[in-house]
Structure 1
């Protein structure tokens, strides 16, 4: 059996790993290896040939994977992560190929000693259990580059075997979000199993090489993780309010090249139903990526709109004042120029130039174009006015301000045309003529053909939803209120959110959003009951912030952290949502802003003056909150449920199957 020859990365005395002044390394929990003490520092050399798979952002640790699959970690000093990289200068990056003896970094021993840290350098095989048969270490004093050990790998294992071990930094050197990110990466099959990663409001979303290698039970049980969801071809780790910090830590450890606004290529379906699922997943993915960056802006604008309405209702200002003009511009700009913002974000997701597509959004919302859209009488055949012409060719000019879907289609068209233009336009002319041709071609395609079609379809869908609501607001409220949050579980609510945004943008209000608001309050009421009733400090610490989050319009921490986990709680919350939705429909509650739940109270103020919608909102929200709270408190939860949940997780730890909630 041939072995991998290992060189000393630095000079000093080779010592047994068990003699290292660190319990994690000494116990070999991270893998077998050796250490070098008493170094004089200087250049740090690659102990083996292979590919660099990890470089700690503080420079104190570097991981290398050999062709045989052995993963070596070179850890420079003990607890040196606390020095924030000051003693180290790294010469390689993740993805680089190195030969044994190549320079990896420099190590300033004097700076480490002055900081009171141990200079012992550790070399370990982090996937010892899976890949290493034995390691023969040669004791004694060595110089950097001297042979110091031979590692004998095991026979190759099938690809479908257990997850590849990651190359994390030692467990005692990472804390907070960095530790959470490290453990998530370990639980999803290691760095090599990650193709791409992005995030939304509450979730870090991974595209994995092989989803079967991710351990749902392990990941969902981590501190800082609320739950795990597999949907839309993504492995979604629900984090909550700290999602951006965890995402940043994940990309720091994996490398920024995996952070992508675009979804990586994945295998094409082989069946008709597979193509249906694939297409739906693609559409939801584009809508999600397009809307997430502007959801906060829409919510903030809705709140400003509500405050403006209150100021007018109580005669603080009137609609002829300069104050009104200024505040109204703040509240309406994001809706008026929605195609510009959505065009930018959609282009990033689809791989087109975001600035060019944003300019196309500007073409669609140009003031004189909006004036054209308001002119003309409907054509008897088409049912819409042919209110504009291009060189004598008549076409329907729609009002694209406040719209979402036409610019998403424009971004898709641009993503197809842009690569072709770059191939046919000479490099010397590309800087000017690619943007020029792309703006002209895509704008004309949308204005003359696809724009009117998309507006017709999206308006038809909105009218259909409104028609169903008009047939029976009460029944619609009951059904939507009872089942809407179930859509959130699977991420399908992203198919509804743009319709709500479009409805508010075009008509100024949304009855559907008023019902959705009641479901948010209900989820908050249920988790609030758990917070008050439980005596478990850990659960109380989770339920309290989750309740606040739900009452501020973000229900996922409540749902994944508590309500779904304890089964009956989600049912009682859904009953509360049904009650709130029923009363919302019965009282014909309308909503003029995007922000829902209790924090969105100002969204229920009619710009023409305070009316029954506001009082209906208070009644429906109060009923949803009280119903879900009381049902949960008396029937939906007891502390023994939490004990059972913990027992289930311990039994399922290491399972490759999702835990049933």
Structure 2
């Protein structure tokens, strides 16, 4: 409860006439999300400090300053509306962060005419950014044009206030009753004009800000519902925790549509290599963001599949028994129907119709098409006269992600041309037809051609040199998994075992699983982030059971260095596997599938010892390399550009 009021005179920062902030063409300032404030329309270029205090922030683009008074009032002095895109050209700054200024002291000049010629409003705003926490009220005392340094307004606040959390929540709840925390965040990062893009991961919002210096980090850290604020990898990260999805949705509603700023260098690649890198990063980012919601069930299913493989390998469970059939269905369902599940999650990421994408995923795993794809006599068909090779898309990731990306443009086009009265009926089925045909007739055959070429090349190298082929397969196989190209090698391994009773190729593939598992095992051992620790352990166990998707999409691709290290070590492990001619006697592998490396005719022999050397050697080397050189908790605060943009911490 307030016992007395403290008054502070606010001086005019420029010569001009005062305006209420509600009249500004900027929703953040106009709605008071930056705190109580006053605007001025300048008629001169000189800018002075409105109060005495310490300079806490100078924007890199020179258009904004932060000042903290001796008694803790925090002010933002903002020169112009959306002037961050002018890259500082109209401004000259004469103060530095940490410098003490007195009220009325010149701090900068702004070329008002140049700002207006650039099509920007030159309005100068003074906002009290911790106004809610201080229970501050601002009263404008000037009624006509005032000179810079003359009295403009009075700020009053209680000397004893209620808790800042109480004060900050009420006005924000009114601004956004569905999610008051979102309004706080949008205001504190500098408002919608300062946000270039925002994504989220499992625990945090990841902003790309036009000017991160404008953001009020102290205010965010002091806000209930925010765990921490981290700045890394050109991202401004607000750590929320489990409620991040709801907060993200509310933030997006406040921000409105985002589009790249062509004036900013990062909005356009400077070279072909940079463009390709950016494009690949975006693809992987969408893939990992789409996989995040299902990684837990993937990991658990992978562990169950590994246990079943071990039980059948030791003849504890018969592969034709009812128990095995049911447990196998439970373990395999998420992989079999993965395109449907990813259709829904990718739709959310790409902001398209999730039901449509689920149906497209169902088309990809439609039983009659899968049955036809598995028989050489029916795999090649024609669709509208176009030759098409059917592919088994169960457990695939890449095709449905591409379909979700295309859906964004297909939906937009269809909604433009289909009459409103018919949209609810025609748009969904037309979209399914277009996307289904593109994947089945276009992407599928393309993947088949590429994967067949890779498979033929690898097998030619294997016939020439097992060690060289082991090096190549070990190095690229998990990359092939990412893009769905690995299916060309799996049938070769299956055929080897069916026809010859063993497969040297499958032994090499097995090593790559151990390497990816070793990388996430190192993360589990090293990280202090409990959520990442839990995820890494589950992903490691899954990889050791032969299912690497949780490790790939949950951790390793997100922190690219981990994936690179695992791929390099698995290449070395594959080369050693080829040199030792390690053989595999069943379609199983990794660590749980060790019975598949025991020759049932002779029992434990040199082949099994070769398995132990290659697989456990790969495990130890990968884990050690990632632990010592590949991972630290700093990476949790600077996620891979993909991925997204989707980090885990």
> TM-score per shorter chain, which class?
0.5 to 0.7
The answer on whether the counterparts of 2:200 and 2:244 sit within 8 Å (CA) in structure 1 is no
Cα gap change, 1:624 to 1:53, in 2 (>3 Å): same
The answer on whether the counterparts of 2:566 and 2:622 sit within 8 Å (CA) in structure 1 is yes
| Residue 150 (structure 1) aligned with residue 141 (structure 2) | yes
The answer on whether the counterparts of 1:269 and 1:278 sit within 8 Å (CA) in structure 2 is no
SS in 1 for 2:513: helix
Residues of 2 paired with 1:392 and 1:477: CA distance?
37
The answer on whether the counterparts of 2:188 and 2:219 sit within 8 Å (CA) in structure 1 is yes
- What residue in structure 1 maps to residue 307 of structure 2? 307
Unaligned runs of 5+ in 2: 12-19, 43-71, 80-101, 105-125, 127-136, 149-162, 170-178, 495-505, 540-550, 601-606, 635-649
Aligned residues: 466
Cα gap change, 1:52 to 1:474, in 2 (>3 Å): same
Residues of 2 paired with 1:248 and 1:590: CA distance?
51
Please report how far the alpha carbon of residue 296 of structure 1 lies from its aligned counterpart in structure 2 after TM superposition.
3.0
The answer on whether the counterparts of 2:36 and 2:138 sit within 8 Å (CA) in structure 1 is no
Please report how far the alpha carbon of residue 456 of structure 1 lies from its aligned counterpart in structure 2 after TM superposition.
2.8
Matches within 5 A, 1:101-250: 127-128=75-76, 148-150=139-141, 170=164, 192-201=193-202, 204-210=205-211, 224=228, 228-230=232-234, 235=235, 237=237, 243-245=241-243, 248=246
SS in 1 for 2:199: strand
Please report how far the alpha carbon of residue 586 of structure 1 lies from its aligned counterpart in structure 2 after TM superposition.
2.9
Residues of 2 paired with 1:555 and 1:174: CA distance?
41
Cα gap change, 1:386 to 1:548, in 2 (>3 Å): closer
What is the root-mean-square deviation in Å for CA atoms of aligned residues?
A: 6.2
Please report how far the alpha carbon of residue 326 of structure 1 lies from its aligned counterpart in structure 2 after TM superposition.
1.4
Of 2, 5, 27 in structure 2, the residue corresponding to residue 16 of structure 1 is: 5
| Residue 53 (structure 1) aligned with residue 64 (structure 2) | no
SS in 2 for 1:17: strand
Please report how far the alpha carbon of residue 305 of structure 1 lies from its aligned counterpart in structure 2 after TM superposition.
0.7
- What residue in structure 2 maps to residue 425 of structure 1? 418
Residues of 1 paired with 2:376 and 2:428: CA distance?
32
SS in 2 for 1:398: coil
> Cα deviation per residue 1:422-467 (whole Å; 9 max; x = unaligned)?
2222222111111222222332333333431234335656777898
Residues of 1 paired with 2:621 and 2:555: CA distance?
19
Cα gap change, 1:181 to 1:329, in 2 (>3 Å): same
Of 428, 448, 454 in structure 1, the residue corresponding to residue 447 of structure 2 is: 454
- What residue in structure 2 maps to residue 328 of structure 1? 328
Please report how far the alpha carbon of residue 617 of structure 1 lies from its aligned counterpart in structure 2 after TM superposition.
4.2
Cα gap change, 1:207 to 1:411, in 2 (>3 Å): same
SS in 2 for 1:127: strand
Of 431, 434, 437 in structure 2, the residue corresponding to residue 438 of structure 1 is: 431
| Residue 586 (structure 1) aligned with residue 534 (structure 2) | no
TM-score, normalisation: structure 2:
0.53
The answer on whether the counterparts of 1:337 and 1:401 sit within 8 Å (CA) in structure 2 is yes
Of 380, 386, 392 in structure 2, the residue corresponding to residue 387 of structure 1 is: 380
SS in 2 for 1:315: coil
Matches within 5 A, 1:528-543: 542=528
Residues of 2 paired with 1:302 and 1:518: CA distance?
16
SS in 1 for 2:198: strand
Residues of 2 paired with 1:66 and 1:453: CA distance?
60
Please report how far the alpha carbon of residue 62 of structure 1 lies from its aligned counterpart in structure 2 after TM superposition.
8.5
Residues of 1 paired with 2:165 and 2:424: CA distance?
49
> Cα deviation per residue 1:23-42 (whole Å; 9 max; x = unaligned)?
xxxxx9xx989xxxxxxxxx
Please report how far the alpha carbon of residue 359 of structure 1 lies from its aligned counterpart in structure 2 after TM superposition.
0.8
Please report how far the alpha carbon of residue 147 of structure 1 lies from its aligned counterpart in structure 2 after TM superposition.
9.4
| Residue 371 (structure 1) aligned with residue 375 (structure 2) | no
Cα gap change, 1:65 to 1:628, in 2 (>3 Å): same
The answer on whether the counterparts of 1:576 and 1:623 sit within 8 Å (CA) in structure 2 is no
Cα gap change, 1:502 to 1:207, in 2 (>3 Å): farther
Residues of 2 paired with 1:337 and 1:172: CA distance?
48
Residues of 1 paired with 2:390 and 2:515: CA distance?
33
Residues of 1 paired with 2:230 and 2:553: CA distance?
9
Please report how far the alpha carbon of residue 372 of structure 1 lies from its aligned counterpart in structure 2 after TM superposition.
2.0
Please report how far the alpha carbon of residue 418 of structure 1 lies from its aligned counterpart in structure 2 after TM superposition.
2.0
Residues of 2 paired with 1:423 and 1:16: CA distance?
59
- What residue in structure 2 maps to residue 621 of structure 1? 619
> Cα deviation per residue 1:186-212 (whole Å; 9 max; x = unaligned)?
986566522442223566432333467
Residues of 1 paired with 2:213 and 2:202: CA distance?
26
The answer on whether the counterparts of 2:514 and 2:619 sit within 8 Å (CA) in structure 1 is no
Please report how far the alpha carbon of residue 368 of structure 1 lies from its aligned counterpart in structure 2 after TM superposition.
1.0
Residues of 1 paired with 2:289 and 2:552: CA distance?
19
Please report how far the alpha carbon of residue 299 of structure 1 lies from its aligned counterpart in structure 2 after TM superposition.
2.1
Please report how far the alpha carbon of residue 335 of structure 1 lies from its aligned counterpart in structure 2 after TM superposition.
1.8
Please report how far the alpha carbon of residue 295 of structure 1 lies from its aligned counterpart in structure 2 after TM superposition.
3.0
Residues of 2 paired with 1:207 and 1:620: CA distance?
38
Please report how far the alpha carbon of residue 321 of structure 1 lies from its aligned counterpart in structure 2 after TM superposition.
1.6
Residues of 1 paired with 2:439 and 2:413: CA distance?
18
SS in 2 for 1:399: coil
Residues of 1 paired with 2:467 and 2:456: CA distance?
12
Q: Which moved more, 1:307-316 or 1:583-592?
A: 583-592
> Cα deviation per residue 1:363-394 (whole Å; 9 max; x = unaligned)?
221111112223345xxxxxxx7722346665
SS in 1 for 2:317: coil
Residues of 1 paired with 2:187 and 2:321: CA distance?
59
The answer on whether the counterparts of 1:352 and 1:414 sit within 8 Å (CA) in structure 2 is yes
Cα gap change, 1:477 to 1:337, in 2 (>3 Å): closer
| Residue 409 (structure 1) aligned with residue 393 (structure 2) | no
TM-score, normalisation: structure 1:
0.52
Please report how far the alpha carbon of residue 283 of structure 1 lies from its aligned counterpart in structure 2 after TM superposition.
2.7
Residues of 1 paired with 2:36 and 2:299: CA distance?
46
Cα gap change, 1:608 to 1:472, in 2 (>3 Å): same
- What residue in structure 2 maps to residue 163 of structure 1? none
Cα gap change, 1:575 to 1:513, in 2 (>3 Å): closer
Residues of 2 paired with 1:227 and 1:373: CA distance?
49
The answer on whether the counterparts of 1:207 and 1:264 sit within 8 Å (CA) in structure 2 is no
The answer on whether the counterparts of 1:522 and 1:576 sit within 8 Å (CA) in structure 2 is no
Please report how far the alpha carbon of residue 306 of structure 1 lies from its aligned counterpart in structure 2 after TM superposition.
0.7
Residues of 1 paired with 2:395 and 2:598: CA distance?
20
Cα gap change, 1:576 to 1:216, in 2 (>3 Å): farther
Please report how far the alpha carbon of residue 352 of structure 1 lies from its aligned counterpart in structure 2 after TM superposition.
3.0
Residues of 1 paired with 2:513 and 2:192: CA distance?
40
Residues of 1 paired with 2:237 and 2:215: CA distance?
11
The answer on whether the counterparts of 2:287 and 2:397 sit within 8 Å (CA) in structure 1 is no
SS in 2 for 1:352: coil
The answer on whether the counterparts of 2:21 and 2:30 sit within 8 Å (CA) in structure 1 is no
Residues of 2 paired with 1:406 and 1:364: CA distance?
9
> Cα deviation per residue 1:282-325 (whole Å; 9 max; x = unaligned)?
43333333333333333222112112112323433211122211
The answer on whether the counterparts of 2:21 and 2:39 sit within 8 Å (CA) in structure 1 is no
